[in-house]
Structure 1
Amino acid sequence: MERARRECALVSARVAALRAEYRRDSPFVAVAEPRLSWIVDAADQPGWEQGAAEIRLDGKATAQLQGSDHAFVAWPFPPLMPRCVHRVEVRVSDTVGEWSDWSAPHEVRLGALAPGEWRAQFIGLAAPERPAQPALLRRTIEVGAPVAHATLYATALGALSVSIDGRDIDDTVLSPGWTTYGERILHDAVDVTALLTAGAHEIRIALTGAWYTEEYGFGGEGTRIYGEQPAAALQLHVHYADGSEEIIVTDAGWEASAGGEVTASGIYAGETIDHRRRPDAWAPAAVVAHDVVPEMRAAEPVRRVDEIAVQQVLRSPSGAVLLDFGQNLVGRLRVRVAGPEGTEVVLRHAEVLEDGELGIRPLRRAAATDRLILAGGGADEVFEPSGTFHGFRYAQVDGWPGEVDPAAITAVVLRTDMVRTAWFDSSHALLNRLHENVVWSMSGNFLSIPTDCPQRDERMGWTGDAQVFAPTAATLFDCDAMLGSWLRDLEIAQNALGGVVPFTVPDALRFPVGPTAAWGDAATIVPSVLADRFGDRAVIAGQYDSMRAWTDRLIAAAGPEGVWQGDSQLGDWLDPSAPPDQPGASKVDAAIVATAYLFRSAQLTARAARELGLIDDETRYAAAAERTREGFLRTFVTAAGRMMSDAPTAYALALTFGIVDEPALRTALGDRLAEVTRREAFHIATGFVGTPLILDALTDAGHLDAAARLLLQEESPSWLHPVTMGATTVWERWDSMLEDGSINPGEMTSFNHYALGAVVDWFYRRLVGVASTEPGYRRIRFAPVFLPGIDHASARIDTVAGTVAAGWRRTDAGIEVSLEVPAHSRAELDVPGLQGEDIGSGQHTWVVANAGAPASGPEGGWNLGTPVRVVADSAAAYRAVIDTLRDADPELAARIRSRTDWTLRSPLAAVLFDVPGPVMGQIAGALARLGSGGR
């Protein structure tokens, strides 16, 4: 009776966001025993905890689970069968046994075919006239009886869209995406029941080459490494109401035509669409030999995710019409236009303008040009490319009939359709814009694979970029499935190279490569990040062989003392001090970088082995990590707390990777890091490797003033300088655009490169203070950093445990601090006055003593006798000096800024010895106007 009363007394906790495996956008799953995940909304019940869960299948079978597991819970029923529709519901109880209502039903279907069931052949044009020729494929089928359900499976060597009687079967684009085609191809599964009524139906496939036929390589020409022509495979399973089944597959019985309106298409080149053309000369399709059996896509596909209108119409000095969309984006243009037959409208795309013209030099050999040829007849015609994408903010329009109508042109934004999961706000407008720039850069570069850039003749899955950015990516978007899929291709490429991870995945460059630190370590770091942030332990089990193979190659390349002795290193790539044509010429010794990453990978592999119960492996890799630590300390660190390379990246690696664990030595290294940061007047002096780590290292060392000056610096090189220049995405170089508005002369000059935006993870973990300390945010460490120069900061993260929201704000009474803990989490507080306190779910607020406020100016005010280091520590005083110099003589200002050691205790006047007297007077006046404040 008591149990009955409890089950009737339903608590107000509500089960939400129920899903099977990864995808929220489709009922189809890639495995027969899909794991289930859900969250519980118990906002009105502080401290609520899940004590048990019950899962119901198809309203009948149930399985009850004890405990708090809620993410990636093992499937408790018999394996799913293909083409069967199931519905899953979940309810939960608290720790005293009171149950919630059942969740809304979630539909689940097996999208993968059974072994041996894939029978479709790849088909294409029998007699193509040129490489990468777009094609149309068709077959007419007859539906003679009522259809119970029908599922269509499709894939391509290239990109395809499938229609039935002219209606697209789904809203995906560029499907099935880029994989290692020779070993792995993905297919989609789509329910097409509603499209198959009784009668005849034409199935048509529109096919372009996309990544499969693209020409890869640097220099004047590229190489088609996969194939010359696109091909497609399709399998349709029709189940009739009478219990019979019919299977339609692509084979030699299909027809093919080269007469479609898409006459040319390439990822780099763009696309030509001719509306005058109609498919004719249909001929039997050719069967294309390809032995790889497609596998069901586990990650979200690429979709249209947004549309942006023209913000401004410009006229270039040469007279060209330029459209400004106000945002650097990735996608293509949808155009509505009417005009005479044969009119050709040409659309060229670029990220920036230079001297008022389209800035196309950074694109290198990527034409990024779409050509639209009108059929005529007076009616509006709508064009949108299907087999390409571009990175652009600006588009040049040539050949438009009459005056260009900006309302007729829309930018269609594309990306892998991941769910955004994090939002940030602060009192600093430039910091907020930087955050959104990072979101836009990730969005544009997570298109099928995580690319480095979306615009030039590259757009590849560089492993180093993915590795340094993975923590930020896993905060901003639910990228678990997408990066997990990419890791599958990483392992395939790695196996072909004997354990070495290539620079890009898929390995389109085919460069001969040895173990390269920071790039190859994507094999260990990315799966570890996914497991930590999403609680997805399967990614560790699935990638463990890859982790081990990579770490073994590193151990073999190091000496007996664990110190790197190999070659093929890129060091701290894109160190700001490196010449534009030598991006690998960094201040830090490449052996320091490589040895640090060997330690990190050995440590992560040991942890993975422990989680998998592989005790011998754990022992071996833990010993390798310890050996490397000792070798690193002996070789690169002095007893006085100096690194052999006195560069910020060296210190950041030693501190953030935990190589140095002795407190006194950590303090000394942290103090020296603050000094070398001050030496550069708090400008970025780190490259690809060090930049994501530098703020963590300064924060850990307690140098919040230095961290604030570095983060909020607006001069180049800095995170905020591109923002002040009007950037709407993250640049590849700190000065991709020079002060005079010209494009950096270096060959690598992208204006959409997410890697240097990896700092945003620090915004969430340290500035706002929310860090996951147990996989999937089951436990949270809340330790906000009250940074000088910031008055408030807040964030929301939609985690697998539920929504975590936190923030802080300075007030006259102190700092108001808030934290919302979801029902599946607990939080440990590291807030002044609350250290060590452990709290449960609910909304919590506190007021703590003010801290981190800017200090006052020097005693006696600011003047030419103020020590150089004190001037450097003050953003206002430093700007007063440099801005005054720049106004008088820009070259002199640049020379003084770069030659001065800003750690000096000498008077400011001593380093301004060559400044003319009148300008010195102006500097003295600018400093005096700061009064006693100015920090």
Structure 2
Amino acid sequence: MTDHHMNAKYEDEGFPIEAAMIGADADDRQAVVLSTVQKLTQAVDRVASATFRATAHGLYEARINGEPVDDSVMNPGWTSFEWRLRVQSFDVTKIVKLCTGEISIEVLLGNGWYRGKIGFNGQRCDYGSAIGFLGALEVSYQDGSIQQILTSTEWCARSSAITFNTLYDGETIDARLWDTPSSLDVHRIEFDRNTLVPQIGPAITRHEVVHPVRIWTSPAGKTLVDFGQNLVGWLRFSLTGPAGTEIVIRHAEVIEDGELGTRPLRRAKATDRFILSGGRDFFEPTLTFHGFRYAEVSGWPGELRLDDLEAVVVHSDISRTGWFECSDPMVNQLVSNSVWSQKGNFLDIPTDCPQRDEREGWTGDIAAFSPTAAFQFDVSSFLNKWLMDLAEETRHSDGVRVPIVVPDIIKMNPPEEFRTLLSDPTAIWGDASIWVPEALWNAYGDIDALQASYPSMVLHLESIERKLSSDGLWNTGFQFGDWLDPTAPPDDPAAAKADRYLVAQACLYRSASFAAKAAHLIDNERDAVRWRALADRTRAAFNKAYVRDGLLTSDATTSYALAIHFGLLDEKHISVAGERLAQLVREARYRVSTGFAGTPYITWALTDTGHVDDAYRLLLERSCPSWMYPITMGATTIWERWDSMLPNGKINPGEMTSFNHYALGSVCDWIYQVVGGIRPAAPGYASVRIEPVPGGGITWAKTAFDSVHGRIEVEWHIKEGDFSMLLNLPEDVDAKVVLPDARSYEVVGGSHRFGCALLR
């Protein structure tokens, strides 16, 4: 269920006003332990319930009588801390009832996103100079009385064995220090209590455990470990060795020239250090995270074996809802790569990448990927939480623009080359304020969530209206355009074939059109008329400026993909544009020629205009650049660039070269709907259209989606020219079924079988 509290503040009775945020006087690299010991005011057998509430500027891990209060990690996550600081609430009744009458609370406090040199490529954008913890344990007794244990300057503080912790650079744990802490002074930290909001969105938790598949020695004599999967999280292990032995673990996504390929990390060190106590030590660096497949291990006492290490996968606790499998193993791997990239980049916010000195909530990436994301996982509360931050950031920009990252830390200390981005609205990136709510509306049909997102839609469109020329064109200011078009130079990813202002105009039409629909749905008819008029004006201006008898002045695949799929063209021009798009795709020998703007829509545009075979050939092409090329190179996640790794095994020389970037995986939305055949016909899949379109030599496909109404399953096979399909629907969900021979059927709920001869 989605929790909507756009402007909710945490009630005083939920978090007592007497509780103070506290910190300790320590080096800013070190994690500290805050603690208190207090007696219960009644006997343990009279405890009815106990709740622990907590938040922090930084990251915290809380234990009561030695037991973790919850299995979540990296609390309270990342929000726009200036205006929204989430408070977690944990039921700790079982822990308290096991005590002997005395309550011990210990809290490990680290830097996290609040103070950790977070920023883009060397920026330092800390929210504050001091980290702090705010907590309250409330014990309710059977007689109705309540005991509260609150954070205050009466608590104690000590140093921990974690002598260094940042998200980009890693964590250092000196196990010798656990038993020899230093006492620290506790101080009160003033903060705005109006920023406190309830926990919205899923917690971050541990998920799979991945074991190494290979250990070997590099040409330089380094010990390298391959986990077989590019993932996000950390390593953990137990061992015994001589006191003072230092184990250093470096992380990276790829191997280059036989060694760890760390250049794509830029300034991020991604290095953990563990110093042995001399006894049996257990290490798990939970105040950082890394994006990696490979690790370089030095200092290990003795021979490193496969069962000595394990990788812990960490991401927000989102539930898997979509599955796809077909007869083509490479398509299956592409889908797997999309799923793994979503998991790795859905760590409290939808990030661009999880490994380098960035890891920010780039709005353009999620604008492109949100329909795919909402099929693969239940992202309703996850993305609605992020949209609340987007709303605050946009509102506090005085409506100038939707930020290019949310939370917007760039505004704190912007690099010179980014300063223009603080004043201009941008297509796709800014359109996340509309396209993400649109994807959520289609997936879940939650009208409250749509209404909560609507003010951001208005601010985005109004910021664009101020930039339009007298003839209705959005043709001034900075635009990312078709970012990372594969023909763009490595050092200029915005230099795409498609006219960036044509792209902006097309995106404005789509956004204004959905805003009009959203306004109507929330009974704001005045705005519905306003945005419909803007959409009509934008469409007319697009056709006048960019369309010549069905051909576009910007003769690029992205231009045609957007014009066709967004519905910008008059009926008489669609077939001409579709044929030109198919011709361009063929001339490119089915190699991909789109970036962030065109990639989600090009296979759709080909299919919409009857060029299904071309869409499949584009999907299945293996040479570079293509969706399948990274798979031929061993990719287990989606790459940022089509050629992040060059065919010769060298890393792309571009500064931005990530191997875990979900945006180009947005083609999976087409796979699920067109190859798999499951398409929403009403918000929340209350009604569906089942229309698989076979092609590309694929002989069978299985697709399943756990909608809010229940599971929808489609399985189809082709044998000797005959098509057969099994459909399972939730009770009361109706479907229009369209077979490859164009016959259609209307069914409601239950299991249904269909068959036809394929058209030849």
Opposite residue 618 of structure 2, the aligned amino acid is L
Q: What is residue 269 of structure 1 aligned with on the other side? A: 169
Contact kept, 8 Å, 2:362 with 2:406, in 1: the verdict is: yes
Opposite residue 190 of structure 2, the aligned amino acid is A
Q: Structure 2: where are the runs of 5+ without partners?
A: none
**How much does 1:132 deviate?**
4.3
Opposite residue 147 of structure 1, the aligned amino acid is V
Opposite residue 601 of structure 1, the aligned amino acid is S
Q: What is residue 60 of structure 1 aligned with on the other side? A: none
Q: Distance in 2 between matches of 1:426 and 1:438?
A: 15
Q: Distance in 2 between matches of 1:617 and 1:296?
A: 31
Contact kept, 8 Å, 1:493 with 1:506, in 2: the verdict is: yes
Is 1:203 paired with 2:203?
Answer: no
- Correspondent of 2:675 among 767, 772, 777: 767
Determine helix, strand or coil for the equivalent of 1:317: coil
- Correspondent of 1:647 among 556, 560, 574: 556
- Correspondent of 2:724 among 811, 816, 823: 816
Deviations 1:814-852 (A, max 9, x none): 11122211114110122245645321001111111214x
Contact kept, 8 Å, 1:467 with 1:521, in 2: the verdict is: yes
Opposite residue 443 of structure 2, the aligned amino acid is R
Determine helix, strand or coil for the equivalent of 1:797: strand
RMSD: 1.8
Q: Structure 1: where are the runs of 5+ without partners?
A: 1-20, 23-28, 35-109, 854-935
Opposite residue 552 of structure 1, the aligned amino acid is E
Q: Distance in 1 between matches of 2:728 and 2:307?
A: 44
Contact kept, 8 Å, 1:362 with 1:749, in 2: the verdict is: yes
Q: Distance in 1 between matches of 2:707 and 2:248?
A: 44
Q: Which moved more, 1:229-238 or 1:421-430?
A: 229-238
Opposite residue 770 of structure 1, the aligned amino acid is I
Distance 1:113 1:297, change over 3 A: farther
| Superposed counterparts of 1:873-892, under 5 Å | none
Q: What is residue 367 of structure 1 aligned with on the other side? A: 269
Distance 1:544 1:119, change over 3 A: farther
Opposite residue 654 of structure 1, the aligned amino acid is A
Opposite residue 142 of structure 2, the aligned amino acid is A
Q: What is residue 229 of structure 1 aligned with on the other side? A: 130
- Correspondent of 2:455 among 536, 545, 551: 545
Is 1:396 paired with 2:296?
Answer: yes
Q: Distance in 2 between matches of 1:654 and 1:807?
A: 32
Deviations 1:741-793 (A, max 9, x none): 11111111100000000000111111111111211100101111111321112
Q: What is residue 252 of structure 1 aligned with on the other side? A: 153
Deviations 1:266-298 (A, max 9, x none): 000100001111363434411111113422212
Is 1:149 paired with 2:49?
Answer: yes
Determine helix, strand or coil for the equivalent of 1:222: coil
Q: What is residue 171 of structure 1 aligned with on the other side? A: 71
Deviations 1:684-739 (A, max 9, x none): 00111101100000000000121111011000100000001110001111111111
Determine helix, strand or coil for the equivalent of 1:467: helix
Is 1:308 paired with 2:210?
Answer: yes
Contact kept, 8 Å, 2:322 with 2:377, in 1: the verdict is: yes
Q: What is residue 144 of structure 2 aligned with on the other side? A: 243
Q: Distance in 2 between matches of 1:564 and 1:318?
A: 54
Q: Distance in 2 between matches of 1:732 and 1:633?
A: 32
Is 1:789 paired with 2:691?
Answer: no
Contact kept, 8 Å, 1:515 with 1:553, in 2: the verdict is: yes
Q: Which moved more, 1:511-520 or 1:351-360?
A: 511-520
Q: Distance in 2 between matches of 1:719 and 1:813?
A: 28
Q: Distance in 2 between matches of 1:444 and 1:321?
A: 25
Is 1:280 paired with 2:188?
Answer: no
Opposite residue 135 of structure 2, the aligned amino acid is L
Q: What is residue 756 of structure 2 aligned with on the other side? A: 848
- Correspondent of 1:611 among 511, 515, 521: 521
Q: Which moved more, 1:228-237 or 1:274-283?
A: 274-283
Distance 1:117 1:609, change over 3 A: farther
Q: Which moved more, 1:642-651 or 1:192-201?
A: 192-201
Q: What is residue 705 of structure 1 aligned with on the other side? A: 613
Is 1:530 paired with 2:440?
Answer: yes
| Superposed counterparts of 1:452-463, under 5 Å | 452-463=352-363
Identity of aligned residues (%): 42
Q: What is residue 285 of structure 2 aligned with on the other side? A: 385
Q: Distance in 1 between matches of 2:10 and 2:652?
A: 48
Contact kept, 8 Å, 2:215 with 2:224, in 1: the verdict is: yes
Q: What is residue 571 of structure 1 aligned with on the other side? A: 481
Opposite residue 795 of structure 1, the aligned amino acid is T
- Correspondent of 2:685 among 777, 780, 792: 777
Q: What is residue 594 of structure 1 aligned with on the other side? A: 504
Opposite residue 204 of structure 1, the aligned amino acid is E
**How much does 1:567 deviate?**
0.9
Q: What is residue 114 of structure 2 aligned with on the other side? A: 212
Is 1:674 paired with 2:575?
Answer: no
Q: What is residue 58 of structure 1 aligned with on the other side? A: none
Q: Which moved more, 1:299-308 or 1:140-149?
A: 140-149
Structure with larger RCO (C-alpha < 8 A, sep 6+): 2
Opposite residue 609 of structure 1, the aligned amino acid is A
Distance 1:547 1:30, change over 3 A: closer
Contact kept, 8 Å, 2:223 with 2:296, in 1: the verdict is: yes
Q: Distance in 2 between matches of 1:635 and 1:608?
A: 28
Determine helix, strand or coil for the equivalent of 1:138: strand
Q: Distance in 2 between matches of 1:486 and 1:227?
A: 21
Aligned residues: 742
Opposite residue 22 of structure 2, the aligned amino acid is I
Q: What is residue 929 of structure 1 aligned with on the other side? A: none
**How much does 1:141 deviate?**
1.4
Q: What is residue 347 of structure 1 aligned with on the other side? A: 249
Q: What is residue 888 of structure 1 aligned with on the other side? A: none
Q: Distance in 2 between matches of 1:802 and 1:231?
A: 43
Contact kept, 8 Å, 1:30 with 1:112, in 2: the verdict is: no
Is 1:491 paired with 2:391?
Answer: yes
**How much does 1:625 deviate?**
0.3
Contact kept, 8 Å, 1:348 with 1:368, in 2: the verdict is: yes
Q: What is residue 656 of structure 2 aligned with on the other side? A: 748
Is 1:502 paired with 2:393?
Answer: no
Q: What is residue 627 of structure 2 aligned with on the other side? A: 719
Q: Distance in 2 between matches of 1:280 and 1:504?
A: 39
Determine helix, strand or coil for the equivalent of 2:408: coil
Q: Distance in 1 between matches of 2:410 and 2:459?
A: 21
Opposite residue 28 of structure 2, the aligned amino acid is P
Contact kept, 8 Å, 2:125 with 2:410, in 1: the verdict is: no
TM-score by length of 2: 0.95
Contact kept, 8 Å, 2:741 with 2:758, in 1: the verdict is: no
Distance 1:728 1:200, change over 3 A: same
Distance 1:489 1:136, change over 3 A: same
Q: Distance in 2 between matches of 1:281 and 1:832?
A: 73
Contact kept, 8 Å, 1:133 with 1:230, in 2: the verdict is: no
Determine helix, strand or coil for the equivalent of 1:825: strand
Contact kept, 8 Å, 1:575 with 1:685, in 2: the verdict is: yes
Contact kept, 8 Å, 2:235 with 2:285, in 1: the verdict is: yes
Is 1:138 paired with 2:35?
Answer: yes
Q: What is residue 334 of structure 2 aligned with on the other side? A: 434
- Correspondent of 2:540 among 615, 618, 630: 630
Q: Distance in 2 between matches of 1:174 and 1:355?
A: 35
Q: Distance in 2 between matches of 1:289 and 1:575?
A: 48
Q: Distance in 1 between matches of 2:704 and 2:33?
A: 46
Opposite residue 139 of structure 1, the aligned amino acid is T
**How much does 1:807 deviate?**
2.5
Q: Distance in 2 between matches of 1:194 and 1:516?
A: 51
Opposite residue 85 of structure 2, the aligned amino acid is I
Structure exhibiting the larger radius of gyration computed from Cα positions: 1
